[in-house]
Amino acid sequence: MDSTLETMKTGTSTVGICYKDGVIVGADHRATMGHFIANKNVQKLFAISNKIALTTAGLVGDAQVLARVLAAEIALFEMKRDTEISVEAASTLTANILSGRRYSPYWVQLLIAGVDASGGSVYSIDSAGGSIPDTYCATGSGSPYMYGVLEDQYKEGMTRNEALKVTARALLASSQRDSASGNGMDLSVITMKDGFKLLTLAEKEALLKSI
């Protein structure tokens, strides 16, 4: 197999879905090196503004650098203009950063998800800078298993609780079938009213018991 394609094979499960009042975003905790579980508590879900989240699949170093760069660039954008950045603009900014590194690329696949005046939205962004909007999206090696859940259970106009359950079920499905995903999950709810809110451990435990 081509060495570049081999490099791009990364293990992760991240997901973002729109619901009636906002967006739910989730990611697993496992980091792998081939068949070796390198770490069981890796952060793959980042708040890059008050109402926008980033999820990362790919090389950990590249993902962490991008999370810091995006958070700083968005903070500068909002400070200069005295207004919150839209999800589409944040997605375009991210895509431009990635497409500008064609000869020394970031080895990542990203989700940008959040809410603005137009409602909730999710963008899938590849390492070459392609940006595709959708109502739900999954990334990483666990994505085929998550899409099985999403295609079956996602529906427009879901409530917060319904959307959280679908997201958690999708991540559980990937952890059960994809060896590169698992060791728990992070879940966040993003709304216009409350912004980015990460579920506490107690909230996650109650959610998982309910499904």
Distant-in-sequence, close-in-space partners of 152: CB < 8 Å, separation ≥ 6: none
Instruction: Give, in degrees to the nearest 5, the angle at Cα 171 between 132 and 147.
Output: 45
Q: How many whole angstroms separate alpha carbon 87 and alpha carbon 39? A: 31
The CA angle 143-24-208, to the nearest 5 degrees, is 80
Angle between helix axes 160-177 and 201-209 (nearest 10 degrees) is 80
Distances, alpha carbon 8 to alpha carbons 73, 92, 125, 150, 192, in Å: 26, 22, 14, 24, 35
Helix or strand (DSSP H, E) at 99: helix 87-99
Contact 1, 166 (CB under 8 A): no
Q: Cα dist. 48→36, 56, 111 in Å?
A: 30, 12, 12
CA distance 144 to 142: 6
Residues designated catalytic: 12
